[in-house]
C-alpha cells in the first residue's frame, strides 16, 4: 500500500467546490507558463544573473552563463515573452533587467526554499 496516498476514497465536497470555483477565476495557465519559462537551467541562470546584476546587456549575460550571444538572445526572448524580463535599447546595445520585484521575490523564495530542502533532506 502506498503511504503517500489515501487508503480510502472520500472528499470534502464543500471544500472541493469552493476551491474549484476559485481556481476557475484565476489565470493558472499563465502562472504555469511563468514557472515553465524559468524552469530551464539557462533561463534560471539568466534570472539569477539579472537578480544580482540588476541590468545587463546580452553580451554580459552570454559570458556569465557561458553560452553564445545568439543562445542568450533566444532565452531572453522567451523570458521577455513570459513577462520575466524587460529590455531597453541604448544605441546598438540591448539591456535586460527583471520585469519587476515580483519576479525577483519568486526567484529568491525559490533559492531559499531549495537551501532549506537540502538542509532537511
C-alpha–C-alpha distance, residues 60 and 66, integer Å: 10
Q: What is the pTM of this model?
A: 0.84
The mean predicted confidence, pLDDT, of the chain is: 92
Length of the chain as a residue count? 121
Nearest to 85 by CA among 66, 107, 69: 107
Task: Give the pLDDT score at 1.
Answer: 59
For cell 545568439, the residue is 70
C-alpha–C-alpha distance, residues 93 and 27, integer Å: 34
pLDDT in tens, 22-63: 999 999 999 999 999 999 999 999 999 999 988 999 999 999
Q: Is the pLDDT of residue 10 over 90?
A: no
Q: Is the pLDDT of residue 6 over 90?
A: no
Amino acid at each position: 500500500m502506498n503511504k503517500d496516498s489515501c487508503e480510502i476514497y472520500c472528499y470534502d465536497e464543500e471544500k472541493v467546490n469552493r476551491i474549484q470555483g476559485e481556481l476557475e477565476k484565476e489565470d493558472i495557465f499563465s502562472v504555469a507558463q511563468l514557472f515553465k519559462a524559468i524552469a530551464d537551467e539557462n533561463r534560471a541562470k539568466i534570472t539569477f544573473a539579472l537578480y544580482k546584476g540588476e541590468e545587463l546587456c546580452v553580451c554580459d549575460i552570454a559570458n556569465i552563463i557561458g553560452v553564445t550571444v545568439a543562445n542568450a538572445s533566444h532565452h531572453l526572448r522567451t523570458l521577455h515573452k513570459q513577462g520575466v524580463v524587460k529590455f531597453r535599447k541604448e544605441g546598438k546595445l540591448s539591456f535586460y533587467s527583471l520585469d519587476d520585484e515580483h519576479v525577483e521575490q519568486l526567484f529568491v523564495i525559490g533559492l531559499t526554499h531549495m537551501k532549506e530542502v537540502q538542509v532537511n533532506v
